[in-house]
Amino acid sequence: MSVSVATAGSKPRRLRSIHVPALLFGACLALLATVLLTYTTNLRSHNDFYHEAWPAYRLLLHGHFLGFLRAGPAYIGSLLLRAPFALLAGALGASARGVYVATAVPCVLTTGVVTGYLAGRARVESAAASVRRGIRPVDLFMLTPPAWVAIGDGHPEELLGGVLCVLAVLLACRGSSRAAGLTLALAVINKSWALVAVPLVLAIMPADRRLSGLTTLVLVAGAVMIPVTAVRLSPGGSLGGTLGDQAYGYFQIAQLLWWLGPSSWIVHEAHILLVLACWLVSGVWWWLRSHRPRARPPVRQAMAALALVLFLRCALDPWDNVYYMAPFMLAVMVLEDPPGFPALTWLCALATLIVVPPYGVLHSLGSTAQAATFTVFALVTIAWLGRLAFTTRVPPPTLGYTASEATGA
């Protein structure tokens, strides 16, 4: 069963399909994971929602909108996007835990949209290609360690940001530049790290539609974040946690800048520099694509480039938490959408579970050994994804995306 829309006329039919069973499966799995992690654990002991988001939401529930904007954390845009769900939970008399669940549910449900979209595209093309039936890698995204930690630690907005960045790339590959710009704008509003994906999405858009996509991105993101930033900069506001000032006082082992030490200037400015590094990689990728006969990249290469950028965002961040890997894991799973065994997905999931946590399997080896292990893992991952993203060979498009090539979308 699928929901499809076709446009009549002499032009080739352009189908946009969502596979409803796959969407429901992904949504139900996401809800199950959310319920298990929020109602079977002691959230107050380690969940960041209680000391980062709840004070702001509590002001909102009492009608203090400006106070809500000023008291919110760095990702106040995400809290603003989810504010209607917080207000609904508050109107029903929910506690802090209930408000957290209400604001987490829309984030985790979006993962089902990706599963439904990929399965739907496969069904559209099943008449022209062999379809591998059964569970797809992305169907099980909510069972990966980064996704679980994102919910348990109170950061479901990481899942939302990952979904929006992946969808922006997929929409750009289909030529839907305005939709891609809107989706990416929501990702930037949700959390500022999504800025790392901006040049890449623009590079993927068709050249004649790039301006409209960029205009949509700037207008939507600016319409929300400029007034919010003005309020937070006003007297009594607190702009704690802008793009570059969060690196102070927090220094994880599992990141490539560990070797420079916490007092290094590069570490202090890491959040700005990592964005520039990702933009540089995207710019090189863009330049190389523009000098090839086929200007529009295959989706597999585009998704590999996104996975590379999202991984660099984690590896160059002194705050590199396990849940930072969630958007990267989602991009890898979409990259390895059938056919074939998802070897890279399993390797990254296992490595993330073992290498990234500050207290885990490698903790007894000491900080230097942990940092060295992560460095090896990071360099291998960067090399692997770089080979997939920058290869000069043109691989066959992954199942589910050939329609964009055929229709010229």
Q: pLDDT per residue over 263-293, tens digit each?
A: 889 988 888 999 999 999 999 998 887 766 5
Check residue 352 and give its pLDDT: 80
pLDDT at 215 over 50: yes
Give the pLDDT mean for 121-136: 56
User: Among 184-188, 192-196, 254-258, which stretch is predicted with the lowest mean pLDDT?
Assistant: 254-258
**Where do we find the tokens 């409209």?**
212
Give the pLDDT mean for 61-77: 92
Give the pLDDT mean for 4-30: 59
Q: pLDDT per residue over 327-349, tens digit each?
A: 999 999 898 877 667 778 888 88
pLDDT at 67 over 50: yes
Query: Would you say 214 and 220 are in contact if contact means Cβ atoms under 8 Å apart?
Result: no
Give the pLDDT mean for 233-251: 57
Which contiguous run of DSSP H or E holds residue 36? helix 20-39
State the amino acid at position 64 in one-letter form. Answer: H
- Looking at the chain, the whole-number percentage of residues with pLDDT higher than 90 is 42
> Which of 6-10, 12-16, 269-273, 389-393 holds the top average pLDDT?
269-273
Q: pLDDT per residue over 80-106, tens digit each?
A: 999 999 999 999 988 888 899 999 999
Give the pLDDT mean for 177-181: 94
Check residue 344 and give its pLDDT: 80
pLDDT at 12 over 60: no
pLDDT at 246 over 50: no
Q: Encoding tokens for residue 199?
A: 């040049």
Check residue 293 and give its pLDDT: 55
Check residue 295 and give its pLDDT: 55
Report how far residue 187's alpha carbon sits from residue 337's, in angstroms, rounded to the nearest whole number. Answer: 23
Give the pLDDT mean for 11-20: 53
Q: Encoding tokens for residue 307?
A: 């996975």
Report how far residue 30's alpha carbon sits from residue 36's, in angstroms, rounded to the nearest whole number. Answer: 10
Label residue 124 by pLDDT band (50, 70, 90): low
CA angle 358, 359, 360 (to 5 degrees): 110
Label residue 184 by pLDDT band (50, 70, 90): very high
Contacts 24+ apart (CB under 8 A), 209-217: 209/175, 209/177, 209/178, 210/177, 212/177, 212/178, 212/181, 213/172, 213/177, 213/178, 213/180, 213/181, 214/181, 215/181, 216/177, 216/178, 216/181, 216/182, 216/185, 217/181, 217/182, 217/184, 217/185, 217/188
Give the pLDDT mean for 154-162: 93
Cα separation values, 402 from 101, 118, 407, Å: 38, 12, 9
C-alpha distance across the termini of the chain, in Å: 24
Check residue 126 and give its pLDDT: 52
